[in-house]
């Protein structure tokens, strides 16, 4: 299995039948890079290193990753800006830096959304991307927050997607119906069990984020009736 947030991982997801991929964006010295953690494998902060130096660790820039993806593949850009991490910025510079890349991708007819755990960063991104066709913002939340409360918060932020944790209390058919009635889609993360993926599909969830795209895509493929 390819390492997450790498071109190889995205290529594998596409080969497995995924129509969207999710990637994590952070600041490095002078550019944005695609990496889940705020440090490289040696433990050095990304913010203190140039993209050229980070390539030695297999970490690519956001522009490089987007340019290498197949046309038409949807991309969820998760903006990583969390208090306590070395690249945290309370002025939400990350949103401003990411907005041009998102606009350029949309201009190239790529489906895009922007998500974040940080409500301030998400609101900043939403404001910067207002009027850019088809780009929705998604509020991510963990398992300690009830899904109905998260939905209310997402609506206050103007988010078009609720990115709910798989084990969030209250994540059920009623929650999905309430979200849809409010014009909010529901994406659930991280769903690696095909049976859970099918159960979520039955209650109307719009998308799932998974580390096993082949297994989940197969599980959600429509069953053909016997001839």
Query: Cα–Cα distance between 146 and 154 in angstroms, integer?
Result: 12
Reading the chain (227 residues) residue by residue, the pLDDT tens digits are 789 999 999 999 999 999 999 999 999 999 999 999 999 999 999 999 999 999 999 999 999 999 999 999 999 999 999 999 999 999 999 999 999 999 999 999 999 999 999 999 999 999 999 999 889 999 999 999 999 999 999 999 999 999 999 999 999 999 999 999 999 999 999 999 999 999 999 999 999 999 999 999 999 998 555 56
- CATH of residue 6's domain is 3.20.20.190
Let me know whether 104 and 154 are in one domain.
Answer: no
Query: Cα–Cα distance between 182 and 191 in angstroms, integer?
Result: 24
Alpha helices per DSSP H over 47-172: 51-54, 62-68, 93-107, 119-128, 147-157
Of 138, 170, 203, the residue that ends a domain is: 138
Let me know whether 120 and 204 are in one domain.
Answer: no
Let me know whether 7 and 95 are in one domain.
Answer: yes
Q: Which domain holds residue 1?
A: 1-138
Let me know whether 170 and 82 are in one domain.
Answer: no
* C-alpha distance from residue 81 to each of 87, 116, 128, 148 (Å): 7, 8, 16, 24
Let me know whether 85 and 163 are in one domain.
Answer: no
Let me know whether 106 and 47 are in one domain.
Answer: yes
148 touches 178 (CB < 8 A): yes
Q: Is 169 left (phi over 0), alpha (psi -120 to 50) or beta?
A: beta
194 touches 217 (CB < 8 A): no
Let me know whether 131 and 215 are in one domain.
Answer: no
Let me know whether 89 and 128 are in one domain.
Answer: yes
Continuous segment of H or E residues that includes residue 179: helix 173-181
What's the pLDDT score for residue 1? Answer: 72
| Length of the chain as a residue count | 227
Let me know whether 132 and 102 are in one domain.
Answer: yes
Of 138, 165, 187, the residue that ends a domain is: 138
Let me know whether 75 and 48 are in one domain.
Answer: yes
How many structural domains compose the chain?
A: 2
Let me know whether 156 and 111 are in one domain.
Answer: no
Let me know whether 149 and 223 are in one domain.
Answer: yes
**Strand residue runs (E) in 6-91:** 20-27, 32-34, 74-79
What's the pLDDT score for residue 226? Answer: 54
Of 138, 156, 181, the residue that ends a domain is: 138
């Amino acid at each position: 299995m390819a390492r997450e947030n790498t071109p190889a991982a995205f290529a594998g997801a596409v080969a497995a039948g995924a129509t969207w991929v999710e990637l994590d964006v952070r600041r490095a010295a002078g550019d944005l890079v695609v990496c889940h953690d705020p440090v490289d494998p040696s433990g050095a902060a990304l913010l203190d290193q140039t993209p050229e130096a980070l390539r030695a660790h297999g970490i690519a820039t956001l522009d490089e990753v987007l340019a290498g993806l197949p046309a038409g593949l949807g991309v969820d850009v998760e903006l990583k800006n969390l208090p306590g991490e070395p690249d945290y910025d309370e002025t939400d510079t990350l949103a401003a830096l990411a907005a041009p890349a998102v606009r350029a991708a949309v201009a190239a007819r790529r489906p895009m959304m922007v998500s974040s755990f940080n409500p301030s960063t998400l609101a900043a991104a939403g404001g910067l991307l207002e009027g850019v066709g088809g780009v929705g913002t998604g509020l991510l939340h963990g398992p300690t927050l009830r899904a109905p409360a998260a939905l209310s918060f997402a609506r206050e932020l103007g988010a078009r997607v609720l990115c709910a944790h798989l084990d969030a209390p209250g994540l059920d058919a009623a929650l999905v119906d309430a979200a849809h009635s409010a014009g909010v889609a529901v994406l659930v993360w991280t769903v690696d069990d095909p049976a859970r993926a099918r159960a979520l599909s039955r209650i109307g969830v719009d998308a799932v984020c998974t580390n096993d795209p082949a297994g989940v895509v197969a599980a959600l493929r429509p069953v053909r009736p016997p001839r």
